[in-house]
Amino acid sequence: MADQAAHRILVVNPGSTSTKVALSDGLTPLFETTLRHSSEILSRYDCIADQYDFRKEVIETALLDAGISIDSVSCVVGRGGLIRPVSGGTYVVSEAMLTDLRSGLLGEHASNLGGIIAYEIASERGLPAFVVDPVVVDELSEMARISGMPEIERVSIFHALNQKAVARRAAADMGGAYENMRFVVVHMGGGVTVGAHDKGRVVDVNDGLNGEGPFTPERTGGLPLLSLVKLCFSGAYTQEQIKKKVKGAGGLVAYLGTNDGREVVAMIEKGDERARLIYEAMAYQIAKEIGAMATVLRGRINAIILTGGLAHDAMLCGWIEERVSHIAPVRVYPGEDEMRALAEGALRVLDGRESARCYEAEE
């Protein structure tokens, strides 16, 4: 195996109003910064893809100001965007992928710029460009796709990058390989996704973006359907208002007026019993989803893994563990280190532990 330190990796992670940039030797951090973009500047562009030149120039200027030569890097890796569904892994940024990212084929999102910027910076220097475990990773079993209504098929949209990264770390910490183990992995942030990881593949996961699973800091999760239908046709709300209530203004925001778990904990510590009830109900629903995914794996689970920003909260994690520890040991990996996860994906290819995957155009 090649020396990991021999591989210098540039990571680009675009967000809606910022771009994170990091440089590492192997997994040893050398430089990291978050470049903020004003709404005034971004409003000049008709679509996200049009921001490419601006963001690329800002990145290159920041690296130049830091005395970093891009010519010294081994590859450039970007955050994966909304492309066609793919299996997990590290993908070479291809012309087919660029076409889909630029067109916004499956939707406009700042992460679409990750592959585009990575490719342009890398190709100018004859370097490879990669994306790693985009949110559209789809490894669902055929049975998991059945919804109960033929017109609607269940889809896989989840925090694939962080879920797979922490699953790999947990496997290594337990002395095994991700591809040989079974986990239920819970990402807890603004959205909550709970995945059944079966020997390297996420064979079932709730669509936390579009209304499945537990309620979250700002999303309703699954709702009683006929009650929702009645609300939709009540005339009291437009379609956009309903969508906002489900995603963005649901969950903790709707009940307690905040999407910040730390503020909820402060309410509880001041004796707010309603805040405690709502917060523990979120833990209750997360635990129920863990139980559901445990049945997918037939109860044969090496560990239950809690991760994401809310995993920093010992109270929330404690409530969940009380309800699920009889299923499997619970391991907590707080936070979401996307920059490291992206570098890890590129490094697995560079040092020969994994082959880069190809993204093909739809025939």
Question: Do 120 and 173 share a domain, yes or no?
Answer: no
In the chain, the number of structural domains is 2
Question: Do 319 and 301 share a domain, yes or no?
Answer: yes
Both tokens assigned to 156: 């896989």
**49, 348, 341, 295: CA torsion to nearest 10:** 110
Beta strand pairing call for 129-132 and 146-149: unpaired
Question: Do 94 and 170 share a domain, yes or no?
Answer: no
Domain membership flag for residue 305: yes
* CATH classification of the domain holding 81: 3.30.420.40
Question: Do 32 and 116 share a domain, yes or no?
Answer: yes
Question: Do 315 and 343 share a domain, yes or no?
Answer: no
Domain membership flag for residue 361: no
How far is CA 209 from its chain centroid? 10
Domain membership flag for residue 359: no
Q: What is the pLDDT of residue 209?
A: 82
The residues near 277 (Cβ < 8 Å, ≥ 6 apart) are none
Q: What is the pLDDT of residue 46?
A: 85
Both tokens assigned to 42: 């971004």
Amino acid at 168: R
Question: Do 248 and 330 share a domain, yes or no?
Answer: yes
What is the distance between the alpha carbons of residues 207 and 210, in angstroms, rounded to a whole number?
A: 6
Contact 108, 56 (CB under 8 A): no
Domain membership flag for residue 355: no
Q: What is the pLDDT of residue 1?
A: 39
Question: Do 219 and 90 share a domain, yes or no?
Answer: no
Burial 76-99 (b: 16+ CB within 10 A, else e): bbbbbbbbbebebbbbbbbeebbe
Question: Do 346 and 318 share a domain, yes or no?
Answer: no
What is the distance between the alpha carbons of residues 43 and 21, in angstroms, rounded to a whole number?
A: 22
Beta strand pairing call for 28-36 and 75-79: unpaired
What is the distance between the alpha carbons of residues 96 and 315, in angstroms, rounded to a whole number?
A: 46
Classified as helix, coil or strand, 123 is helix
Question: Do 44 and 132 share a domain, yes or no?
Answer: yes
The DSSP call for residue 20 is E
Q: What is the pLDDT of residue 362?
A: 65
Q: What is the pLDDT of residue 254?
A: 96
pLDDT per residue rounded down to tens, the chain (363 residues):
344 447 999 999 998 788 999 999 999 999 999 999 988 888 888 888 889 899 999 999 999 999 999 888 999 999 988 899 999 999 999 999 999 998 877 777 888 999 999 999 999 999 999 999 998 899 999 999 999 999 999 999 889 999 999 999 999 999 999 999 999 999 999 899 999 999 999 999 999 888 899 999 999 999 999 999 999 999 999 999 999 999 989 999 999 999 999 999 999 999 999 999 999 999 999 999 999 999 999 999 999 999 999 999 999 999 999 999 999 999 999 998 899 999 999 999 999 999 999 998 665
Domain assignment of residue 229, given as a range: 160-335
Question: Do 291 and 168 share a domain, yes or no?
Answer: yes
Q: How large is the angle between the packed helices 314-324 and 261-269, nearest 10 degrees?
A: 90
Domain membership flag for residue 147: no
Q: What is the pLDDT of residue 228?
A: 96
Domain membership flag for residue 19: yes
Beta strand pairing call for 75-79 and 8-14: parallel
What is the distance between the alpha carbons of residues 213 and 37, in angstroms, rounded to a whole number?
A: 33
C-alpha pair distances (Å), 56 with each of 10, 59, 118, 196: 13, 5, 9, 37
Domain membership flag for residue 174: yes
Among residues 228, 269, 272, which one has the least CA distance to residue 250?
228
Question: Do 170 and 103 share a domain, yes or no?
Answer: no
Domain membership flag for residue 54: yes
Question: Do 202 and 242 share a domain, yes or no?
Answer: yes
